[in-house]
Structure 1
Amino acid sequence: MKFCRFNHDRIGVVRGDLIHDVTSLFDRQLSWPTAPGDTIIAQLPAVHAAGMDIANMPTVALTDVRLESPVANPNKIIGAPVNYHAHIAEANADSEINSGRTYTTLKAYGLFLKANSSLIGPQDDISLAFADRRTDHEVELVVVIGKTARHVSRDDAFGYIAGYTVGLDMTVRGQEVPSYRKSPDGYCVLGPWLVTPDEIENPDKLKLSLTVNGENRQSANTDLLILGVARLIEYASAVYTLYPGDIIMTGTPAGVGPVQAGDVIEASVENVGSLRISVIPAQSTVVGSE
């Protein structure tokens, strides 16, 4: 199924050109303090397994809604910075990307965290954080965790996945640590919906692509990932407790490049979906940008 979040936190199932509103199937009453993770994503496996009488749910045309990020409240957003060999090569060849560092392998470099406040949906805009610095696009397959996971083996990893979505890991180039340069507001784009694992035969064999103003920039396949989806979950859960709604951005292939205000980015992942989003000017001068 394709689950979406739309029109100020309604929950829907996308079928063709219609969204079936299934909000009533979820408990949205919260107590304080809340458990870690996204409460809707935590309920998703049980709701999905129980089956839904979609035909009797109210519908709305997909074209008449505003789609939001399919995950509202991730406990954390985890990134895999150099998970394609071709991207490692281009990073080491581009001084604006490497800033004097030499990239070798993901295991040597480790994972990073993006701020949750960087998260936006497919119908928002990407506001450049720095007017005078390079911001790059990075298309990625995104894995959303469905239940609490710690020290998960790669053999068991697929049992912890709620679904997959398309992601943009927008990145400011510079000397700062990745968690700073990748965390401005709007620098994590997710959408257009969450596709449940039963819809994806093999997440390690999906085409992904990105264009800017219609120009092809990135085109690859997740079969080129250095660490595949199951291995990434094993790797991440060895360090972090993963909670429902946690986001793992699996890494970007070669072809990353700068965007400017006025650009339109289109990103897609095979059998998952596509999103189209605009880049707008920086809203203010960022302290420390000199």
Structure 2
Amino acid sequence: MAGVWELVADPWQLVFMRRAFTLALVTGAVCGVIGVFVVLRGMAFIGDAVAHSAFPGVAVAYAFHGNLLVGGAVAGVVTAVLIALVSQHRRLREDTVIGVFFAFAFGLGIVLVSTRDSWSTDLASFLFGQILAVSTADVWAVAVMGAALLLAATAVRKELVAVALDRETARAAGLPVLRLDLLLYVLVTVVIVMSLQAIGNVLVLALLVTPAATARMLTDRLGVMTLLSAALGASGGLLGLYVSYHRDLAAGGTIVITLTAMFAVAWLLAPRHGLLVRWLRRGRPRPVTDTGPPPVPVRAR
């Protein structure tokens, strides 16, 4: 009896939990890397838009008994490309275009779902995640997709950072801004669809943005930020899944809460940018130095 209890108490001994931990590790790390570009660009809204734009593709795939992830990926990529193209118009801000396509895609998904008599477990798992039900083939597929995403992001890392920090300067330097925009949108779409099984359509934005935002609080160096974001995403996924197993909680929601707790700690206690550190610096008296009389302001005549 004790042996059975130890087997159940240790999730690493269970095959389905090992698959779930592997999936959480890979998706957390890859989302952390891609999320750095999203945070630097200030385009967290695009992640939410792409995640919801995948919904009609999933609904169509469900109606025709196709692969839900493939349907979601196709819809997400199409929406991301349309957003990138339409947002090139100078009279429209990028967030405005995102809002238009976000609302349309989600509304279309709701209409398509309403044509079905009932929801299935597969469609519900797409929305809320079902990391404990993944197969070995799912884990391998995510690992291959993750490796391809990391290679692509690494190959154009400098260009993506240049566009994220200053689009006009990047354009003046001769960089293909539109093509880089399209590439970034496609990378975001693929990493979101890749993470749907782990955390679900509703919560996937947290896996993409929160680790990168936490790393942004901890360092000013881009390379360190990227490594930290990947480590935070992976460790948050593992820890959240472990807690959800032992407390019998929803895995996706627990992972999001864990990542948010990490962000809260960094927001308060970050060595240079934390709220507590800034508060202590503000309250510390500054040394008084004799710099002589203040300069006389020069008035325009």
Query: What interval of TM-score do these two structures reach, taking the shorter chain for normalisation?
Result: under 0.3
User: Normalising to structure 1: TM-score of the pair?
Assistant: 0.25
User: Normalising to structure 2: TM-score of the pair?
Assistant: 0.24
Instruction: Choose between structure 1 and 2 for higher RCO, CA contacts under 8 A separated by at least 6 residues.
Output: 2
